[in-house]
């Protein structure tokens, strides 16, 4: 059995910083993938990218990408208010993380399962998956709890995805230095 990762680095990696004094970018009715924005973030923030871990509260599209039966999140009214189409967000518009990255001057996060290249993760990534848990499903099974409907993408898996993105970013010319500045 694999040893559980230490709690402090997991908590540190999951922390988001909100810069309340940063100017708010003009709203757009379309999602802007991270790869489509050129130049540094517009807010003047000292951070070059942000990462998110969690469940449906901040999932921007991973659940809809992996699930063979994504359910209602793949249909209206999800996404109707802001994006005018389902995006995989468990909301009819934006999530709190969308407002945070907007306020910081960043494009909307690329869901990890929707990205393929380092450019897709230039400004960070979202690893959150609806029904994601902090603990492995094996723990629930050992306690004879029903895991039906719980995604296998618990926090440990999301941290593994994070490491892949860091390695991908580290393979770019400036990526190694930038990836070490990504921790908040």
Helix, strand, or coil (residue 110) = strand
* 124: helix, strand or coil: strand
CB of 44 within 8 A of CB of 19? no
Q: What is the pTM of this model?
A: 0.69
For the chain, 184 residues long, give each residue's pLDDT as a single digit of tens: 556 555 554 444 444 333 322 333 444 444 444 433 434 455 566 788 889 999 999 999 999 888 877 788 888 888 899 999 998 898 888 999 999 999 988 998 889 999 999 999 999 999 999 989 999 888 888 999 988 878 889 999 999 999 999 999 986 645 455 545 554 4
Q: How far apart are CA 118 and CA 32, in angstroms?
A: 16
Nearest to 128 by CA among 170, 157, 107: 157
Helix, strand and coil content of the chain, in percent to the nearest 5, comes to 35, 5, 60
Partners of residue 125 on adjacent β-strands: 51, 110
Phi, psi of 51 (to 5 degrees): -130, 145
Round to whole Å and give the CA distance between 35 and 153: 25
**Distance between CA atoms of residues 78 and 23, nearest Å:** 28
Rg (CA), the chain: 17
Longest CA pairwise span in the chain (Å): 51
Site of tokens 């039906």: 148
């Amino acid at each position: 059995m694999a040893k559980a990762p230490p709690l402090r680095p997991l908590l540190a990696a999951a922390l988001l910083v909100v810069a309340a004094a940063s100017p708010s970018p003009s709203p757009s009715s379309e999602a802007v993938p991270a790869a489509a924005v050129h130049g540094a973030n517009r807010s003047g923030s000292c951070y070059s990218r942000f990462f998110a871990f969690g469940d449906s509260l901040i999932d921007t599209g991973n659940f809809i990408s992996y699930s063979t039966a994504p359910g209602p999140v793949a249909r209206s009214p999800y996404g109707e208010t802001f994006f005018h189409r389902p995006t995989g967000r468990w909301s009819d518009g934006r999530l709190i993380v969308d407002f945070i990255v907007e306020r910081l001057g960043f494009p909307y996060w690329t869901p990890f399962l929707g990205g393929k290249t380092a450019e897709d993760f230039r400004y960070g990534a979202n690893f959150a998956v609806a029904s994601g848990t902090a603990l492995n499903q094996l723990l629930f099974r050992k306690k004879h709890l029903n895991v039906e409907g719980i995604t296998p993408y618990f926090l440990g898996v999301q941290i593994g995805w994070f490491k892949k993105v860091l390695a991908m970013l580290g393979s770019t010319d400036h990526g190694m230095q930038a990836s070490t500045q990504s921790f908040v």
